Chain A
């Protein structure tokens, strides 16, 4: 008699792959989905976001090694060390559909769910303690020096990758948890570990491809980024997003590509302008943090990390239309979640859920010439 292979997978729609894929649970999208766009081009690697998160959520005994928000220097840095290359290597080379244009290609390879080894829900690995030791290893370390650059990118490059939990539509952490101690909230799509139900099995640590659940040795259970849900419940952006000095981050709610609201900042950046891309979409969890890729980095590397939309994203970002330019001005300008935006001739305006104006910034800062009396003041 044949032994059944455990629970069967269902087929769910993953818009980032432009196809259906295997997942252990049925497709069940939240009423609205937490999302954020991080503009890598603007990041100065100051780690203010990292410290904002640390001083809010992970300052206690057992959390010393935890950085729910971390900023790592690519291509060599990683927290935990080499988290992405390790998984990419396990997954092996995979392909996106060939064809004209970069966006809109179908993923033909295997996701981590489709490549799951027998007896497991997804492909993954459990990093050991020592791999979490150096959150900023290889800081500012670039690829070997080449004395020539072939613009628009540089062969000698590094860039900062800002990482929080992606509050995925198909969380691998939740799929992997045999106790169903991880849940995705219907009201905002935030993914949380129930601290009462968790038994410290570490299946989430093993199978989240982004390695964002972390084990607390003192409580003997796991914890993860909570998307600052007490703040989000009050229409306030997360700590890491609010604290960002470089104003690289914008938080909002994202819709499916077939339900785009063009005045919704997330929809505009991700679906309309297509300047913001998910990281490692090929893993298949449909992550909800999106990145504006860095312009100076070789495209091959960026495509591995952000999928086939890279060329298009950089092109649009390098030559933004007025709406995009205006929206980019709204990044990091208010602690309230901007749900709608509008760009006029002079201003970019952000609105809350009730269409109330919460922020207005000029597209061009006015030139102020100081009278001579101030000249000696620096």
Chain B
């Protein structure tokens, strides 16, 4: 069955069957931080690889004809982190999903979790052969770049006089969803990452073992940033080469990994299996890149303020709080009060 599906995918790819001879995607070794900003010149020093895309017509919903035809890929690593720059032509920017008829532009990377000679089935992996998926979404990017997109952004004349269970400081405006009791914002209450109003990264870290099995990972280890110019999208996706998460694909300097890509065109209502995707390509992670004496969190340029620093912030706050308690405890005033 899998072999049959695989064969069909390959036929539908309309690409040269001798894909193993395709040039690999070279992840260039650098000694700088991985730039999170796609516009930084350093990216241009990495060799681009243009990969052709096919339309997914193995499982429903299908894409029945050509859409986005190819992606231009670049990769760099510094021995600790790896980054990918993915660029494609898209004259329409679809980064809002506030109407029933709105669909987002997005792009994803898939890599097998296990290192086996035969990569898993290209369509979302197969059981016991999971794929790690890193999915960047344009609407999440817009949320992060400005603020969470709210209903009233798409419906400026919206007026609701009363919401129960909402912190309505003023009747003059519709409160942001974060002011509502989480229990009644069902997707958020169910911990659905799409519904969480507090987005930390535009990229989601997922794992799948076949069609319909895509699952958010417990440990989110990916960051990214995407920008749109009139011509299309430029998206950086970055993560540590190695993580301690067993659902992640593990990479190492000097190593090889199978990698594939998928992209969705929002204005064509592309979603889920209705997508353009690439065959498996080989990612070749060049060695020698390294920065001495810097912590992993500093391996990415421009990642300040994203989730990587949360732990540091928490530790810092706890530390300052302990100091404050100590100071109060040893102050003579405190003792005088306590005695009285």
Contact present for A7 and B212 (CB under 8 Å): no
Contact present for A1 and B60 (CB under 8 Å): no
Q: Tell me how many residue pairs across A and B have CB atoms closer than 8 Å.
A: 138
Contact present for A128 and B60 (CB under 8 Å): no
Q: How far is the CA of A215 from the CA of B98 in the complex (A)?
A: 9
Q: Is A167 an interface residue (CB 8 A)?
A: no
Contact present for A128 and B101 (CB under 8 Å): yes
Return chain B residues, CB-CB under 8 Å to A119: 57, 60-64, 274
Contact present for A201 and B195 (CB under 8 Å): no
SS of A interface (majority): loop
Identify B271's interface contact among A62, A201, A216, A223, CB under 8 A: A201
Return chain B residues, CB-CB under 8 Å to A129: 99-101
Q: Is A126 an interface residue (CB 8 A)?
A: yes
Candidate in B163, B186, B211, B273 with the most chain A CB atoms within 10 angstroms: B186
Contact present for A216 and B212 (CB under 8 Å): no
A-B contacts, 11 of them at CB < 8 A, read: A3-B11, A6-B58, A120-B62, A121-B60, A128-B100, A178-B211, A195-B186, A200-B97, A217-B97, A217-B100, A220-B97
Q: Is A61 an interface residue (CB 8 A)?
A: yes
Contact present for A7 and B60 (CB under 8 Å): yes
- Beyond A119-B64, A121-B60, A196-B191, whether A3 also contacts B99 by CB under 8 A is no
- Beyond A220-B97, A220-B195, A221-B187, whether A60 also contacts B60 by CB under 8 A is no
Q: Is A316 an interface residue (CB 8 A)?
A: no
Contact present for A127 and B174 (CB under 8 Å): no
Contact present for A126 and B101 (CB under 8 Å): yes
- Beyond A4-B4, A126-B100, A219-B195, whether A179 also contacts B214 by CB under 8 A is yes
Return chain A residues, CB-CB under 8 Å to B184: 59-60
- Beyond A128-B100, A128-B101, A203-B61, whether A219 also contacts B158 by CB under 8 A is no
Q: How far is the CA of A6 from the CA of B4 in the complex (A)?
A: 11
Return chain B residues, CB-CB under 8 Å to A214: 100
Return chain B residues, CB-CB under 8 Å to A216: 186-187
Closest CB-CB distance, A129 to chain B, in whole Å?
Answer: 4
Interface members, chain B 194-247 (any A CB < 8 Å) = 194-195, 211-212, 214
Closest CB-CB distance, A265 to chain B, in whole Å?
Answer: 32
Q: Is B171 an interface residue (CB 8 A)?
A: no
Interface members, chain A 166-224 (any B CB < 8 Å) = 178-180, 194-203, 205, 214-221, 223
